Amino acid sequence: MKTKNHFISLVVISLITFVATVLAITPAQAQFLIGSDGLKFDTTDNKQPVQASSIVMVKKSKKKTELRIGRSNISTIPSYEIGWNILSTPDYGLYAGSEVGDFFNIREWKSTQFTVNLLQASASNLSRTLGISAGLGIRANNYRFASNQSIERTTGIVMPYEVGPSEKGRSPKKSKFNVASIHIPVEIFFGNPRKFAFSVGGYVDMVMNSHTKIKYHGGHKDKVHNFPTNFIQAGAVARLTFHHFSVYAAYQPTSIFKTTRGPEVQQWSIGIAL
């Protein structure tokens, strides 16, 4: 209970310090920015910008804990990730009796996952060998179809169709399905992320947009938005961090599409990060 109360008080003190810092700087003196180094206060008196990662830092030598907010170098949450998506075997029970076939087939090495984490927070012991990291970013999952086909909504249900020539008679070049989300990762790490660390955790993605994209020879593109995907996409992740480089593997048990609105399909992701 003491440890829990201490951590809560640590977070409260950090938030008070952060708010006090914001209020202490008038709009005429500074601008509040979100940059590549986290939260910044850009002053107008030719001084260096002040980073929130250096402002909101609370140390307790007695308890040997440390809390940082910003793009901290003790966090295992990377700034950028690129991965590849591998789908589980889809369940087409919804389509029993129809002739749609196994239509949600993708090319794994052309089905990518891009993530940019804009904000970070971490808490660790002062030796930085055990701690917890959290972040906030954006993520895009791309699923490249294996053949010249795409999907559409028919009476609210995802259905496949074969992609034909464009209005100008151009043949299709590639077809894919995209999902864009707000990404919230949380990881517990063991070891020093500056040298070597192992971390496990999870993430929650809140889907903001989904669309199909068909590209034709000659450059023409067609997009259709708003498919019945699950708003919450959650999964587990394991990561190995070497200095500022890491490799990760993730499993997302949440189905991409809503129940009774599309095939039941989960995904694995593997990738690298900086």
Task: Calculate the dihedral angle through the C-alpha atoms of 143, 149, 151, 154, rounding to the nearest 10 degrees.
Answer: -170
Residue 181 to residue 177: CA distance in whole angstroms? 14
Give the residue among 90, 102, 81 at the shortest CA–CA distance from 205.
Answer: 81
| Lowest-confidence segment of 29-38, 130-139, 170-179, 181-190 by average pLDDT | 29-38
Q: Judge if 93 and 44 occupy the same domain.
A: no
- The band of 226, judged by pLDDT with boundaries at 50, 70 and 90, is very high
pTM: 0.75
Q: Are residues 217 and 92 in the same domain?
A: yes
Q: What percent of the chain has pLDDT over 90?
A: 57
Q: Is the same domain home to 9 and 124?
A: no
Count: domains in the chain: 2
Q: How far apart are CA 19 and CA 12, in angstroms?
A: 11
Residue scoring higher pLDDT (255 or 6): 255
Look up tokens 């999870």; give the residue.
Answer: 202
- Whether 2 has a pLDDT exceeding 50, the answer reads no
Residues 210 and 109 in one domain: yes
Same domain, 47 and 169: no
Is residue 129 located within the same domain as residue 225? yes
CA distance 224 to 212: 5
Do 135 and 231 have their domain in common?
yes
Q: Are residues 63 and 79 located together in one domain of the fold?
A: no
Angle at 44 between CA 38 and CA 48, to 5 degrees: 50
Residues 27 and 151 in one domain: no
Residues 10, 129, single domain; the answer is no
Question: What tens digit of pLDDT does each residue of 164-185 get?
Answer: 888 888 889 999 999 999 999 9
Looking at the structure, do residues 98 and 189 belong to the same domain, yes or no?
A: yes
What CA–CA distance (Å, rounded) separates 191 from 45?
A: 41
Whether residue 17 has pLDDT greater than 50? no
Instruction: From 67, 85, 110, give the residue that closes a domain.
Output: 67
18 φψ region: left (φ > 0), alpha (ψ -120 to 50), beta (else): alpha
Cα-based distances in Å from 259 to 97, 98, 105, 218: 18, 18, 19, 38
| 157 and 266 both lie in a single domain | yes
Q: Is the distance from CB of 198 to CB of 191 less than 8 angstroms? A: yes
For residue 214 the two structure tokens come to: 């068909």
Going through 70-156 in order, the beta strands assigned E by DSSP cover: 80-87, 112-125, 130-144, 149-154
What's the domain range around 37?
1-67
Q: Which one of 30, 48, 67 terminates a domain? A: 67
Last residue of a domain, one of 15, 42, 67: 67
